Structure 1
Amino acid sequence: MQVKKVLTYGGIAFVAFFLFTRPGDAASTVRSAMDTVYNAADSLAQFVSHLS
């Protein structure tokens, strides 16, 4: 249980460090992740619409 807590806090610290030191890259990473989610949802919607 202790290892999980250390890894969680380490991950949060890394994200905070990345956000404050390179905000442009952080925004680009989030935008890329959102584009991936959008494309996956769009592909799923096209798949379901072609089933009919």
Structure 2
Amino acid sequence: MARLKKWTGYALIAFVAFYLLTQPESAAGVIQTGVGGLMSAAESLSRFVNTLGA
């Protein structure tokens, strides 16, 4: 089972590297979307915490 996890991790890393090298614009768009989602979640959490303190 540990070998399967290890090889799955290697395959995932290889896929990500291949994707970054063959489609850099698309990969950048995926990263921008992810970062935008994280920023939105952080802003919402900040608003929630500030509302609790008010």
Q: What TM-score comes out, normalization by structure 2 length?
A: 0.93
The answer for unaligned runs of 5 or more in structure 1 is none
Tell me how far apart the structure 2 counterparts of residues 16 and 47 of structure 1 sit (CA, whole Å).
38
Residue equivalent to 1:51: 52
Residue equivalent to 1:24: 25
Residue equivalent to 2:37: 36
Q: Which amino acid aligns with 1:21?
A: T
Give the Å deviation of 1:21. Answer: 0.4
Runs of 4+ in 1 over 2 A off after TM superposition: none
Deviations 1:11-44 (A, max 9, x none): 0000000000000000000010000110000000
Q: Percent identity?
A: 40
Aligned CA-pair RMSD: 0.5
The answer for unaligned runs of 5 or more in structure 2 is none
